[in-house]
Amino acid sequence: MPFPPRPARKLVLASLENDGGTRCVDIFRRADGSHGFEEYRRDPEDPRGWSGAAGFGDRVFDSEEAARTAANGAVGWLSGMA
């Protein structure tokens, strides 16, 4: 029995981490050329690493700039970064 096809991977264009290293936002481009972002969290006591924190990954933007602007508006700690 063949395995189902794997979904196309996203190309991460930027990974922006907070000062404490516990939150991260990835800005990415999908195989279809659209862009998006997702916020992740990492708990020091959890050895599994990063996990999704907010569910923004399904939002679709025409450009990297549009995805960054939306991320800055949606993720409070990110808008405070220089």
Domain boundaries, the chain: 11-42+49-79
Tell me the average pLDDT of the chain. Answer: 87
Whether the predicted pLDDT of 79 surpasses 90: no
pLDDT digits (tens, 9 = 90+) for 34-61: 999 999 988 877 777 777 777 898 999 9
Global pTM reads 0.81
Which pairs from 37-46 meet CB under 8 Å and 24+ separation?
37/67, 37/68, 37/70, 37/71, 37/74, 39/71, 39/74, 39/75, 39/78
> Which of 5-14, 46-55, 66-75 is predicted most confidently?
66-75
- Tell me the percentage of the chain whose pLDDT exceeds 70: 94
